[in-house]
Amino acid sequence: MPTARPDHQRRLLDLQARDTAIDRIRHQAAALRADPEIAAAQERSTATQTRREQAQAEVDDAGEALAAAEHAVEQVATRIQRNQQRLDAGTGSSKDLTALQHEIGTLGSRRSDLEDAELAVMERVETAQAALDESTVGASEAAGALGALTEVRDARLRDLSGEFEREKAARAEVLAGIDDAALVSLYEKLRSAHDGVGVAPLQGSRCGGCMLELNPKDLAAIRAAAEDAVVRCEECGRILVRA
Ligand SMILES: [Zn+2]
């Protein structure tokens, strides 16, 4: 049976307390980083941003279509005006003038059709702009919600980081007080094999690690063991520290 100074054995319990705290901090930080609420908010924000970009693209397309429709109306209007001026000047044969008159009539109904089309495009622009305004508000709200959640999480991560540093420093101090490499190495080995707990106090007749009652024979052997004997729980194998 290995031996270690009783005070070193008792300090092992302090080391365990620090390691348990460090594990808890790591676990909490990992849970915060994987927060499903933030992941959902991130997803919502990305989706609303995509909708906003699509709405913006439709506004751009509709704007271009409107410019084209306006240009088409202008072109016909210019031709009508030019023909009208030629007609008013009265130059050319009467056949030419009749043809001009006829063309003006045709262009007039063409202009009317183009103006109807222009109106339809204007409605499309309005609808697109309304959708863009709405999705801009939605994207901004979703980004705001994400930002608020992230801010709270980051503040908590900063707190945990501070706690982590304090626990690490405290652990180093405790470790420095255990001048027994073999004991610490055994503790580390058991800790990694037993869910992060390598040492436990003997609480009456119970192991503080696995919480099982020791049988009377094992208990008697532990009580009879030399003070510097490193005893182990027969049930879980952890180091048992006697008070
Ligand atoms: Zn045990």
Concatenate the DSSP letters of all residues of 38-61 into one string.
HHHHHHHHHHHHHHHHHHHHHHHH
pLDDT score, position 135: 98
pLDDT score, position 243: 82
C-alpha 177 to ligand 1 mean position (Å):
25
Alpha-carbon dihedral angle through residues 171, 179, 214, 192, given to the nearest 10 degrees: 50
C-alpha 146 to ligand 1 mean position (Å):
46
C-alpha 198 to ligand 1 mean position (Å):
10
pLDDT score, position 241: 97
Positions of the chain with pLDDT lower than 50, given as ranges: none
Tens-place pLDDT, residues 170-204:
999 999 999 999 999 999 999 999 999 999 999 99
C-alpha 236 to ligand 1 mean position (Å):
4
Task: List the domains of the chain with CATH numbers.
Answer: 6-28+180-241 (no CATH), 35-162 (1.10.287.1700)
Tens-place pLDDT, residues 98-110:
999 999 999 999 9
